[in-house]
């Protein structure tokens, strides 16, 4: 990873962070603040899933199980009253890492549709554990009773503005971490595995190790999104680990684009806004949203940012071709 590239990404991240933090204040809009927090949580889920799908070629139908594990472990530890927020956060990450290692070690041995459905099977197992362990998780009612937010290091997350700033900082830090992974030598190994796993193995890349490492890293980032959402709604619910949540994350990737780094984040914003608009104006939520998504997917055939980037590349190629043609005419 080149240092100038990292410094450029860091500068862009800091500018983006400053802009996002300032938005609710500039527009005096608490609903905008809530929308951004919601988008941050699900944006991390979608972007972490794209580390598997877009960069490693591992289509997972069960990625939301780590979203749910992070949310439930974090919330349960805070409800005991004996854990600080940073300690509960780290413990939830550790629990997610252990689960991801165990599940990933089994799933990565399969490829393509078999990998996808095995991750779905594990997700449904986690989901049913949440439903059955009613005395701990609350079952289908979710984890009730609220989540305490004890102050730490002078930071009081009980204040909405403070929680918003911390959410934005945490989200941008995770996105910057994912960017560092993607542009690092390990990121190029991921793309080699995606494009041709057999050839990557012949070139000395440990395919299984690459798959397992990125599986765990993606799970950890998804769990951060789950913890943000748990604090936001002051609870945790079985739907966090249900297959529809993974399906929504895949829709977000398809809408925004899987070949552009920030594509899934844009897809999250688009899908979240569509959800708000559709539920406001019609009772036929599923039918209307399905038709809109179908039109977008069939019309563009790629994510929004994918289409935009390809259009810019074609435009640049046309300009270069025109310049070359002009030079050839001048020489003749």
With contact defined as beta carbons under 8 Å apart, do 305 and 287 qualify?
A: no
Segment 20-33 mean pLDDT: 88
Q: Which of 59-63, 132-136, 242-246, 305-309 has the lowest mean pLDDT?
A: 305-309
Q: How many structural domains does the chain have?
A: 1
**164-201 tens-digit pLDDT:** 999 999 999 999 999 999 999 999 999 999 999 999 99
Q: d(Cα 232, Cα 296) in Å, to the nearest integer?
A: 30
Q: d(Cα 283, Cα 179) in Å, to the nearest integer?
A: 39
Q: Is residue 148 part of a domain?
A: yes
Segment 48-61 mean pLDDT: 94
Q: DSSP 3-state assignment of 242?
A: coil
Q: Is residue 325 part of a domain?
A: no
With contact defined as beta carbons under 8 Å apart, do 68 and 127 qualify?
A: yes
CA distances (Å), origin 262, targets 61, 184, 212: 21, 17, 23
pLDDT value, residue 241: 94
Whether residue 74 is predicted with pLDDT greater than 70 in this model: the reply is yes
What is the CA angle 258-260-263, rounded to 5?
Answer: 65
Q: Is residue 19 part of a domain?
A: yes
Q: Is residue 199 part of a domain?
A: yes
pLDDT value, residue 209: 95
Q: Is residue 204 part of a domain?
A: yes
CB atoms within 10 A of CB 77: 20
Q: Give the up-direction half-sphere exposure of residue 97: CA atoms within 13 A in the CB hemisphere.
A: 8
Q: Is residue 16 part of a domain?
A: yes
What's the mean pLDDT when you consider all of the chain?
Answer: 91
pTM of the predicted model, to two decimals?
0.91
Q: Is residue 192 part of a domain?
A: yes
- Report the CATH number that the domain containing residue 103 is assigned in CATH: 1.10.3470
**208-255 tens-digit pLDDT:** 999 999 999 999 999 999 999 999 999 999 999 999 999 999 999 988
With contact defined as beta carbons under 8 Å apart, do 45 and 67 qualify?
A: yes
* Domain containing residue 188: 3-284
Whether residue 312 is predicted with pLDDT greater than 90 in this model: the reply is no
Whether residue 77 is predicted with pLDDT greater than 90 in this model: the reply is yes
Closest CA to 52 of 196, 201, 216: 216
pLDDT category, 63, cuts 50, 70, 90? very high
pLDDT value, residue 2: 52
Q: List alpha helices for the chain, DSSP H.
A: 3-27, 30-56, 64-79, 85-107, 112-132, 134-137, 160-183, 185-195, 197-202, 207-233, 243-256, 263-281, 285-300, 304-331
**80-135 tens-digit pLDDT:** 888 999 999 999 999 999 999 999 999 999 988 999 999 999 999 999 999 999 99
Segment 144-149 mean pLDDT: 87
Q: Which residue has better confidence, 133 or 6?
A: 133
Q: d(Cα 193, Cα 189) in Å, to the nearest integer?
A: 6
Closest CA to 13 of 171, 167, 166, 162: 171
pLDDT value, residue 268: 94
Q: DSSP 3-state assignment of 284?
A: coil
What is the CA angle 208-219-213, rounded to 5?
Answer: 25
DSSP 206: -
Q: Which residue has better confidence, 80 or 4?
A: 80
pLDDT value, residue 1: 45
């Amino acid at each position: 990873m080149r240092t100038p590239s990292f410094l450029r990404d860091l500068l862009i991240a800091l500018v983006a962070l400053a802009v996002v933090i300032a938005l609710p204040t500039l527009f005096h809009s608490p609903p905008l603040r809530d929308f951004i927090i919601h988008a941050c949580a699900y944006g991390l889920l979608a972007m972490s899933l794209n580390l598997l799908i877009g960069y490693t070629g591992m289509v997972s139908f069960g990625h939301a199980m780590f979203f749910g594990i992070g949310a439930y472990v974090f919330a349960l530890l805070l409800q005991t009253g004996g854990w600080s927020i940073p300690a509960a956060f780290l413990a939830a990450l550790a629990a997610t890492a252990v689960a991801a290692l165990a599940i990933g070690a089994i799933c990565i041995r399969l490829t393509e549709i078999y990998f996808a459905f095995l991750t779905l099977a594990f997700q449904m197992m986690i989901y049913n554990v949440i439903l059955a362990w009613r005395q701990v998780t609350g079952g289908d009612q979710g984890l009730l009773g609220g989540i305490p937010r004890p102050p730490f290091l002078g930071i009081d997350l009980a204040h909405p503005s403070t929680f918003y700033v911390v959410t934005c900082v945490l989200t941008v830090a995770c996105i910057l971490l994912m960017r560092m992974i993607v542009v690092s030598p390990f990121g190029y190994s991921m793309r080699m595995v995606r494009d041709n796993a057999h050839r990557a193995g012949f070139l000395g890349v440990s395919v299984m190790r690459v798959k397992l490492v990125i599986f765990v890293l993606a799970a950890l980032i998804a769990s951060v999104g789950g913890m943000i959402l748990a604090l936001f709604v002051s609870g945790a619910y079985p739907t966090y680990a249900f297959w529809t949540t993974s399906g929504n994350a895949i829709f977000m990737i398809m809408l925004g684009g899987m070949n552009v780094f920030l594509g899934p984040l844009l897809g999250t914003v688009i899908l979240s806004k569509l959800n708000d608009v559709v539920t406001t104006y019609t009772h036929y939520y599923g039918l209307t949203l399905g038709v809109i998504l179908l039109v977008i997917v069939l019309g563009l055939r790629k994510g929004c940012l994918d289409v935009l980037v390809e259009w810019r590349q074609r435009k640049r190629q046309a300009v270069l071709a025109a310049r070359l043609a002009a030079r050839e005419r001048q020489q003749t």
